Amino acid sequence: MINRICSLVLAGIAAAAFTLPADAARIGILSNQNADATAADFAARLTGHTFTPVDVGTLTPSLDSLTASFDAVLLFEDGLFANAPNVGNVVAQFAQSRRPVIVASFYEQDRTGTTALPANGWGALEALDPNTSDGTGTAYSARSLNPASIVLHPLTYGVTELTAHQFAGGNQAKPGSIVLARWAQPNARGQSDPAVAMRFTGDACVMHIAIAADYSSYGSYGSLYGGDFYLLWQNAFDFAGAKCVVGSGQPVDSGALPAYPEDTPTAVPTLADGALVLLSLLLATLAVAALPRRR
């Protein structure tokens, strides 16, 4: 009987021992417009995380308030705004505190290098982001994902299709950035346009999902935007919740890892809470079995 119990407990430990716990992240949605609507849309369609809107149109949140409230932030704009450099400075500090940052369209419209518009720049964040503008910024023409460009990574799990009627694209990857998917259409320079990219700089992990996060404010899913839009955002927030760490059991293309391993934390397999309980039960069972028996 004791042997049977031990076998069952060991089987449970084997199943649970190296399960990476789900990381529920507190996500701050920072924008000068549509932060409320975007937070509500993601809360209704995605799982495992909480989303809180932060209007940064005229006010800049302090670093202390961001780090106290959020595990990661999504930053985008909808219309140029003069406060962008101040917001970029504090978000850069947030990223350097080992908290993931995601940027989305129309971030590129206000980025330094966009000459088609009077861009304000994003301050210190531009030293950490994975892309520069292609000079024009977000393309106002249809975009579709090139499926052959998709690189295996937690950000792209299950993603095979992504479409936008016009609010996507307009970027150029920086040398050393990791591009995980590209648009089928070239950017304004006639070069490859990254759809999903990320960059590690010291302690900072910054991702760029080059499609409007607030698309739901302009039309319905399946009409103006479609494909694996919400799956991609789910992946992005899951990866942010994992602090940009690829789990030990997660498949990933070697080209999707930073060139310098020390730039990225390595997931160390640990016993999950359930496995610890089972291990305690096993030890207790063995202890009982070791007690001298009365004859």
pLDDT score of 213: 98
Cα gap 19→281, rounded to integer Å: 18
Spatial contact of 133 and 114, defined as CB atoms under 8 Å apart? yes
Length of the chain (residues): 295
117 three-class SS: coil
Question: Closest Cα to residue 140, out of 166, 172, 178, 160?
Answer: 166
Residue 178 phi/psi, 5-degree rounding, is -100, 115
Q: How confident is the model at residue 280 (pLDDT cuts 50, 70, 90)?
A: low
Q: How confident is the model at residue 260 (pLDDT cuts 50, 70, 90)?
A: low
188: alpha, beta or left, given left = phi > 0 and alpha = psi -120 to 50?
alpha
Asked which of 9-13, 237-241, 282-286 is least confident by mean pLDDT, the reply is 9-13
pLDDT score of 287: 52
**Whether pLDDT at 145 is above 60:** yes
**Whether pLDDT at 9 is above 60:** no
**Whether pLDDT at 263 is above 70:** no
Q: How confident is the model at residue 291 (pLDDT cuts 50, 70, 90)?
A: low
282 is written with which tokens? 């096993």
16 three-class SS: helix
pLDDT score of 6: 45
| pTM score | 0.83
Question: Closest Cα to residue 77, out of 120, 140, 25?
Answer: 120
Q: Average pLDDT for residues 23-29, to the nearest whole number? A: 95
Q: Average pLDDT for residues 9-25, to the nearest whole number? A: 49
Q: Positive or negative CA dihedral for 273, 279, 283, 285? A: positive
Which residues, 6 or more positions from 249, have their beta carbon under 8 angstroms from its beta carbon? 18, 20
| Chain mean position to CA 167 | 19
Cα gap 13→5, rounded to integer Å: 12
- Residue 13: how many other CB atoms lie within 10 Å: 20
**Whether pLDDT at 206 is above 70:** yes
**Whether pLDDT at 133 is above 90:** yes
Greater confidence (131 vs 295) lies with 131
CATH class for the domain made up of 18-263: alpha beta
Task: Return the residue matching tokens 């299709």.
Answer: 161
Q: Average pLDDT for residues 144-160, to the nearest whole number? A: 98
Q: Where are the beta strands (DSSP E) in 18-111?
A: 26-31, 50-55, 72-75, 101-105
pLDDT score of 292: 55
Question: Closest Cα to residue 17, out of 264, 242, 282, 287?
Answer: 282
31 three-class SS: strand
**Whether pLDDT at 22 is above 70:** no
